[in-house]
Structure 1
Amino acid sequence: MAIGRQLAAEDPDTHAPTLPLRLNEYSRELSWSDQTEASLTLAEEALAVIWPLFQARPADFHRDGARVLENLLETHQMCGSKPQGTVLERIDTFKAMGFPL
């Protein structure tokens, strides 16, 4: 993940779009191995990375955004927690734009 983060920082046009998907997949892998807190941290990072891309080009990034949000919601459920604050705002924005979760 460190290499992916570094590549996205150095060349965001090329690597930033794939970073949230990598973070999301790693988050899912950790959740399957009962490392839910680490999984939640990665899922939140994935949302933070995908969100500006989604806002700039919703038609291009709504599927990836949905994947990230769905994983984040599932991970919260596994942790026995509920999304709050910015995460809820982003979920509401996503839905208000007509994209289902």
Structure 2
Amino acid sequence: MKIANITAAVAILLWFGLAILGRNLLIDALTDDVPDWPTVSSIDFGIILPMSLASALLAWAWLCNGFLRRPWALAVPSVMCLATMLPYFMVMGGGV
């Protein structure tokens, strides 16, 4: 359970950090009066998606540690959350 908890903690911290970064970028765009920005999709993609993944994984980790006690039940979603960072960065950064 120790490795699964570490993997979940890393994924939660990274997604929470991305949410804070997205919030700061949106606040800077608002204070600089960037025209036609932020859009609804940039708010969703910059703040809501990272916070949703971080909070869902945090709740799942709490459930797995409290009731299920199966390491794979926490490790699989944690690895999936970490794996979704590559497409997130490709889309958020404008692609390649």
Q: Name the TM-score class by shorter chain.
A: 0.3 to 0.5
Taking structure 1 as the reference length, the TM-score comes to 0.35
Taking structure 2 as the reference length, the TM-score comes to 0.36
The answer to which structure, 1 or 2, has the higher relative contact order (CA under 8 A, 6+ apart) is 2
Structure number with bigger Rg: 2
